[in-house]
Amino acid sequence: MNSNNWREHAASVKPLIETGREWLPLVKYPRDLGFTKTIGGTTYAVNSHFSQNASESMLRIILRWIDNGTDVAE
């Protein structure tokens, strides 16, 4: 893969398992990641916000947590 054609390569990649979910492209600043989920009689609304001034992507943060053994369940 030529490093200048990453968008073309990403568009050609097919998932290993077809889940029927809408495909979300890999982007540095995701949009529209908000969703709602109803559990019992309560509807939860989740909205995500990403700073374009951040020096680290969300993927990099999660990988760092995994490398450090960070317990995110607290």
Dump pLDDT digits (tens) for 39-63: 999 999 988 877 778 888 778 888 8
Q: How far is CA 58 from the centre of its chain?
A: 7
Residue percentage of the chain with pLDDT more than 90: 16
pTM of this prediction exceeds 0.85: no
- Look at the chain and report how many structural domains it folds into: 1
Q: Which domain holds residue 69?
A: 24-74
Cβ–Cβ under 8 Å, residues 44 and 37:
yes
Q: Is residue 6 part of a domain?
A: no
Mean pLDDT of 21-28: 74
Cβ–Cβ under 8 Å, residues 52 and 29:
yes
Q: Is residue 69 part of a domain?
A: yes
Provide the β-strand partners of residue 42.
39
Task: Pull the structure tokens for residue 40.
Answer: 């019992």
14 vs 65, which has greater pLDDT?
65
